[in-house]
Amino acid sequence: MPPHVVRLVLEAARTAGVSEEELKRLPGVGVLDQEGIRVPTKMLTRVWEISSAAFAEAGGAPRVARLWTPGRFHVWDYVIKSSANLTEAFELAAQHIPAITDPHSAFIVQQDPAGRLTVATRPVSTFGRVSELIGEFVLGLLIQQAGTALGRPVTPVAITVAGEPPRSRSDLLDMYGTPDVQFNASVSSVTFSAPDATAPLPGADPALAAIVRDHAVHTVANARLILGWLDKVHAEIAASFADGPPALDRVAKRMAMSSRTFQRRLHEEGTSWREEVEKVREAEATRLLRDTGLTIDTIAARVGYIDVRALRRAFHRWYGRTPADFRREREQAAIADNHDYLQ
């Protein structure tokens, strides 16, 4: 993802009282002042993880969302501002999601027969309160974006939050501008009234909009990818699957290290060889089950298992179910999500 949101959350973490020493220990933060780069998404989720307790004490997601100002997210902000109305703005923003965040995130934009506009958000997967904070932040950001684009305050007609209500709701409800917030929903979404959805935007400029959209595509396509050390380890582990179960000494050699130095560096990163192999296997096996029609036997081989029984044991350890059950539940959940977005 581009570094814009990471910088914003880091700033919020500092103002919430997270120590500078702790933030400096985050891998890769030294490159965030550069432009024209993309950084690992896990960098952002790690900032949320170490800051979540401080955010909870200091007002939660509003502390982060309120630091946004027009133009802070570069070309993505102008995609919205130069559009004809909010409906077009968020439809285009959804198309250009890689310009602001991980392309595996998503906005689903739907206008109902009465003209009301709903934007549902599906952030990149993470866990627990971190996931809830990210969802709360995105909804607050969308409301602020809408108000800035329209040049006036916007009150949503409905909000759904895919998570438990925070200990104190006052800051969250103040940011959303409405008490009509449903928690524990299947998706996080914000719904705007038909007049707000169709009102002409003061900054609408078709010629500028076309230029901005081209620029959004160009900046993503030409960005320089910055990989952290563990990202490189993960890439080497994934590449070694073709040779069977990954071996520490082979991966260490590909990282231009001795096995002992490699293990010491893993320890300095707060992890181990076994943990990192497990992470890569889980991520890759999950992706293949979700996004491909490959057989489970083939997937087991693709992630370096000797046989499918090892994959089944691993999946039970990760998710408490078999790979076949996981795939079937994902397919059913996708159908249910699509139904929810269309309602």
Q: How confident is the model at residue 260 (pLDDT cuts 50, 70, 90)?
A: very high
Provide the CATH number for the domain formed by 229-339 in this structure: 1.10.10.60
pLDDT single digits (tens) 302-338: 999 988 999 999 999 988 889 998 888 877 665 555 5
The number of C-alpha atoms within 13 Å of 140 and in the hemisphere containing its C-beta is 22
pLDDT for the residue 154: 95
Where are the CATH 3.90.1520 domain residues in the chain?
Answer: 4-224
More confident residue, 133 or 202: 202
Residue type, 83: S
pLDDT for the residue 297: 93
In the predicted model, is pLDDT for residue 127 greater than 60?
no
Helices 4-16, 41-57: inter-axial angle, 10-degree rounding: 30
Q: What is the mean pLDDT of residues 257-272?
A: 90
Residue in 44, 43, 48 with CA at minimum distance from that of residue 13: 48
pLDDT for the residue 342: 44
The highest-level CATH class for domain 4-224 is alpha beta
Residue in 49, 46, 91 with CA at minimum distance from that of residue 209: 91
Residue in 284, 276, 229 with CA at minimum distance from that of residue 257: 229
Q: How confident is the model at residue 205 (pLDDT cuts 50, 70, 90)?
A: very high
Measured between alpha carbons, how far is 261 from 252 in angstroms, rounded to an integer? 8
- CA gyration radius, the chain: 22
Where are the CATH 1.10.10.60 domain residues in the chain?
Answer: 229-339
Residue in 134, 131, 182 with CA at minimum distance from that of residue 161: 182
Q: Across the chain, what does the average pLDDT equal? A: 87
pTM comes to 0.71
Asked whether the beta carbons of 118 and 153 are under 8 A apart, the reply is: no
Q: How confident is the model at residue 199 (pLDDT cuts 50, 70, 90)?
A: very high
**Which pairs from 35-38 meet CB under 8 Å and 24+ separation?**
35/3, 36/219, 36/222, 36/223, 36/224, 37/2, 37/3, 37/223, 37/224, 37/225, 37/226, 38/1, 38/2, 38/3, 38/220, 38/223, 38/224, 38/225, 38/226
Asked whether the beta carbons of 13 and 61 are under 8 A apart, the reply is: no
Q: What is the mean pLDDT of residues 40-59?
A: 84
pLDDT single digits (tens) 149-197: 999 999 999 999 887 787 777 888 888 988 888 988 888 999 999 999 9
